[in-house]
């Protein structure tokens, strides 16, 4: 494990990645990017879970603000590791960073509690932008990942029996979306990122994030995939 405590206001990121070369590249990126610090780096999920368990036993928060999680890991896959981390610290954001882009895998990760799903070929700049989005309450999916999720959700929408089909009341209670919120939700259903939504609607990414938080609260969901799933199933847009 390595750590870098550069700035008190930096987003402290813990990396879980078993490929030494790729892990080293992430360590270098996070150690030098403005607004970020490398809080910890792990080659296996059990190490970070052990730290999270010790923090939970003492009633403390873990020593990192966000976890960047690979999926194919020794001893335990990243989906199960995400599930365990979220059980210990529900408010700890976990962002998957992987080569896998199969829709079922993406949905499994999201259902395990992942707050975002990025592909390893994502550029460094976009990755940092997406991690900032998570810190502000967003739930990033790269455009290719978003399309995969949307295709799967649309294919299962008539039956509503897929992994994100939740038993929620269909009454109008809690669904009083404003016109602007519906514009944002419609753009998310189209697979657009927060930045793309902002450009499309002529507003700032921060404003999009605020609208998204309100949408999640009103729809009683926790991330983009769940919001889109409900929007498609109940034809909210």
In a domain, 140, yes or no: no
- CA–CA distance, 35 with 203 (Å, rounded to integer): 23
Cα–Cα dist 235/68, whole Å: 33
128 and 177 in a single domain? The answer is no
- Indicate if 209 and 113 belong to the same structural domain: no
Q: Is residue 21 part of a domain?
A: yes
Q: Are residues 129 and 180 in the same domain?
A: no
Say yes or no: 131 and 171 in one domain.
Answer: no
One domain for residues 115 and 228: no
DSSP letters spanning 69-93: E-SS-SSS-HHHHHHHHHHH-TTS-
Q: How far is CA 22 from CA 30, 34, 95, in A?
A: 12, 20, 16
Residue 130 and residue 197 share a domain: no
How deeply is 172 buried, as exposed, middle or buried, from its count of CB atoms within 10 A (0-12, 13-18, 19+)? Answer: exposed
Q: Which residues pair with 38 in a beta bridge?
A: 13
pLDDT, residue 12, reads 96
Is the pTM here over 0.95, yes or no? no
pLDDT for residue 224: 75
Query: 24 lies in a domain?
Result: yes
Answer yes or no: do 33 and 129 share one domain. yes
Given a cut of 50, is residue 5 above it in pLDDT? no
Confidence (pLDDT) at 30: 96
> Of the candidates 65, 19, 11, 66, which has an alpha carbon nearest to the alpha carbon of residue 44?
19
Query: Are 185 and 124 contained in the same domain?
Result: no
Distance of CA 231 to the CA centre of its chain: 19
pLDDT of residue 33: 95
Q: Residue 40: which H helix or E strand, with range?
A: strand 36-42
Q: Is the pLDDT of residue 186 over 80?
A: yes
**Judgement on whether residues 102 and 172 belong to the same structural domain of the protein:** no
Give the residue with greater pLDDT, 142 vs 41.
Answer: 41
Looking at residue 214, which CATH number applies to its domain?
1.10.10.10
Q: Is 160 a domain residue?
A: no
What is the extent of the structural domain holding 30?
A: 11-135
128-136 average pLDDT score: 84
The count of structural domains within the chain is 2
CATH number at residue 102: 3.40.50.2300
In a domain, 156, yes or no: no
Mean pLDDT of the chain: 82
What's the pLDDT tens digit per position in 133-165? 887 776 666 666 766 766 766 665 554 445 545
CB 70 within 8 A of CB 79: no
What is the per-residue pLDDT across 84-126, written as a single tens digit (0 to 9) for each? 999 999 889 999 999 988 877 887 888 788 888 888 998 999 8
Neighbours of 28 (CB within 10 A): 12
Range with lowest mean pLDDT among 61-65, 146-150, 201-205, 222-226: 146-150
Q: 131 and 41: one domain?
A: yes
| Angular region, 28: left φ>0, alpha ψ -120 to 50, beta rest | alpha
Mean pLDDT (whole number) for 180-198: 84
């Amino acid at each position: 494990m390595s750590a870098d405590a550069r700035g008190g206001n930096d987003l402290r990121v813990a990396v879980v990645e078993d490929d030494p070369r790729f892990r080293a590249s992430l360590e270098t990126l996070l150690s030098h990017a403005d607004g970020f610090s490398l809080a910890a780096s792990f080659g296996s999920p059990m190490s970070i879970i052990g730290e999270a368990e010790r923090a939970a036993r003492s009633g403390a928060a873990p020593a990192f603000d966000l976890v960047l999680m690979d999926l194919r890991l020794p001893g335990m896959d990243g989906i199960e590791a995400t599930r365990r981390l979220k059980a210990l610290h529900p408010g700890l954001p976990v962002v998957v960073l992987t080569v896998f882009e199969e829709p079922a895998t993406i949905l499994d990760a999201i259902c395990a509690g992942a707050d975002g799903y990025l592909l390893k070929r994502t550029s460094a700049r976009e990755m940092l932008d997406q991690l900032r989005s998570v810190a502000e309450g967003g739930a990033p999916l790269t455009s290719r990942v978003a399309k995969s999720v949307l295709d799967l959700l649309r294919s299962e929408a008539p039956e509503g029996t897929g992994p994100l089909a939740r038993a929620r009341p269909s009454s109008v209670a809690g669904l009083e979306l404003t016109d602007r919120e519906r514009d944002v939700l419609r753009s998310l259903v189209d697979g657009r990122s927060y930045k793309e939504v902002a450009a499309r609607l002529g507003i700032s990414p921060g404003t999009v994030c605020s609208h998204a938080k309100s949408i999640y609260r009103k729809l009683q969901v926790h991330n983009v995939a769940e919001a889109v799933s409900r929007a498609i199933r109940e034809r909210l847009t």
